[in-house]
Structure 1
Amino acid sequence: MLTRIRKQSKKILKPVAKAFIKLHISANVATIIGLILSFIYLAIIILLKDVILGIVLLGLSAFMDAVDGEIARLSNKAGAKGSFLDSSLDRIEDINYISSLFSLGFTPILVGFLIGSSLVISYLRAKAESLGLKMEGRGIIERGERIIFLFVLLILYLFSQTISFYFFLVFLILSIVTVIQRFIAVYSNLP
């Protein structure tokens, strides 16, 4: 869904990426900074239960993940190694982002299902693309939407744990539906 508005986000990302390039911050360094911020986010939520600071750190981590690709493109250094590093570290970030919900009292088995669904969604895209199928934009809740859902979930948590739990259930259901959508899309397009 968000892949449709990615072109609009370039208006924000491009100047930031250019500034990072001037500061000699490579795409890989931006990717690693995003990962480090995700670990700091997780620590803040687990140790301090500071959801507001967590939201800020989640935003910074997600932003670094968005800007790293733009840095690579603008500096003409996009390549297989950077793509592999980015995709691999994104999965660790996803685990960090969602794992924080354990310490906020969300049901552990449901959090585990959300982590698993998130990883399977990404795996199905990677496997499909390795088989020559395009999966970007397929499914209700891709990575960008999952991060937005997590933002909203944390904001709701500040006001009502009950409402945030119901929102979490919607998040989980949409993630499972996306797994099913992608599986069907891949399987039905294979010879």
Structure 2
Amino acid sequence: MESLKKRILEEGVVVSDQVLKLDGLLNHQVDPQLTMDMGKEFARMFREDGVTRVVTVESSGIAIAFATAFELGVPLVFARRKKTLLADPDALCERVPSFTKGIVTDILLSRQYISENDRILFIDDIIANGDAARGLVRIIQRSGAELVGVGIVVEKSFQAGAKAIREQGIRLESLVKITSLDGGSIAFED
């Protein structure tokens, strides 16, 4: 998506050779038109896969996952990062480290909203080391649902996350792939 690449170059902030801050696009502010365009692109990629639900992890993936679910005409389910008093006591749970937050968190998905009859499309904003993604993949697999694929807005291909998912035989599609943040410059894969 050339429009997404352009916006990343204009608004992305390279924090280090490992970290790209995209608060103006994905993580703090959301551009509704760009988000809907990304959802349309993911829907185009996965439309023939019989998706019955789109799943994401709160919170930065919700807007893009919503746009994708809307385009596919299916429900959106998001895994929570915090257990509440009202949480399903039988929720599927995985403990995962967060690369950007520098902490370990639990991700929880209620069994009420995912079943062995579902065909799941997992959508997320960024994949770096892929710990949260691998955790949600394990939750989906334990639910008995079929994971038809993973859609990622920004893949940092110089980190291991996307490769680890693909090595499990899972289809992973990215809207843009960043090959390097060295020297404060954003380099995209062609």
TM bucket normalised to smaller = under 0.3
User: Which structure has the highest helix share of the two?
Assistant: 1
TM-score, normalised with respect to structure 1: 0.25
In our comparison, the structure showing a higher alpha carbon Rg is: 1
User: Which structure has the highest strand share of the two?
Assistant: 2
